[in-house]
Amino acid sequence: MKEIKSIGVLTSGGDAPGMNAAIRAVTRSAIFQGWRVFGIYRGWEGLINGDIKEFTSSSVSNTIQRGGTILKTARSDEFRTPEGRKKAYDNMIKFGIDALVVIGGNGSLAGAQALAREYDVPVIGLPGTIDNDLYGTDSTIGYDTALNTIVECVDRIRDTATSHDRIFFVEVMGRDAGFLAQNSAIASGAEAAIIPEEQTNIDQLAQFIGRGFRKSKNSSIVIVSESKKDGGAMHYAERVRNEYPQYDVRVTILGHLQRGGTPTAYDRILASRLGVAAIEALNEGQRNVMIGVKNDQIVYVPISKAIKLDKPVDKELIDCLAILSI
């Protein structure tokens, strides 16, 4: 196996709070190891176009508290093609990059896996996504911050809702995973969460309406996972208007508000630990693994498993919300 002397680090896909803490940790850990570090701007697109700059320790100074990503991020259709990946690999050779640390979600790690398979490149993935949907890790970088942002927003919505007999549908991100919706519903005292994991089992709206509203409650908040399949919160609000016209309905879609902001202490610590562990993994000869955390311990998860296997929402959380929302 070729000795590693320099690494590249990139962020890809949607940004997540804590990515800068991860970049900082990867950079400084690699320099501590005696390796050179190259920051690759705008994700896979930047690797294709040679948008690459050598980093020093000072390059990541004063970044741990910043949201977003100093390396920028972009989607890359070209990288999905063999020709695009060939350009990316050629630039790794040109800049003398021996291994990559890729910070991102499912799509980003799938790209890393493709490059590793085609060119035998050592790649380490870090789970950077607010959706918390990567298998093998209890939490992903950015999830805790996004969760806290949602709870703060729902608290404010509740303030304005208390004098109206209304149902408020609040749509949150999560793609095909209900972690943000389920846990923000518990944390904000919402009456229900409508999540993808439960859609095949029951009519979640009918179940919620069927409970009725307590007389002591003069508003109800339902957290809904965004969904391309059924249209998310707007779909359920329309159903209420058609099927239960006695209720007044409002919709709030939080959108990209959830992605921004200063990362929480938890996300900063998680990102820092994972970044250090990424360099340790490369130094041990590991490749094509995602660094995760299980029961507060660092774990190595094959990237193939991290992106292919479903991460289930704990049924206990679903039961917890049902009990507390009576």
CB contact set of 187 (below 8 Å; sequence gap of 6+): 147, 151
Catalytic residues: 131
CB contact set of 255 (below 8 Å; sequence gap of 6+): 171, 173
Average pLDDT estimate for 61-82: 96
* Model confidence at 59: pLDDT above 70: yes
Nearest Cα residue to 251 out of 326, 155, 176, 172: 172
**166 pLDDT band (50/70/90 cuts)?**
confident
* Model confidence at 86: pLDDT above 50: yes
pLDDT in tens, 208-239: 776 655 444 556 899 999 987 777 899 989 99
> Taking a C-beta distance cutoff of 8 angstroms, is the pair 98, 285 a contact?
no
* Interatomic CA distance for residues 253 and 246, integer angstroms: 23
Q: What is the pLDDT of residue 215?
A: 45
Q: What is the pLDDT of residue 201?
A: 53
pLDDT in tens, 268-313: 999 999 999 999 999 999 999 999 999 999 999 999 999 999 998 8
Under DSSP, the state recorded for 56 is -
Q: At what angle do helices 143-161 and 265-283 cross, to 10 degrees?
A: 160
Q: What is the pLDDT of residue 326?
A: 78
pLDDT in tens, 108-156: 999 999 999 999 999 999 999 999 999 999 999 999 999 999 999 999 9
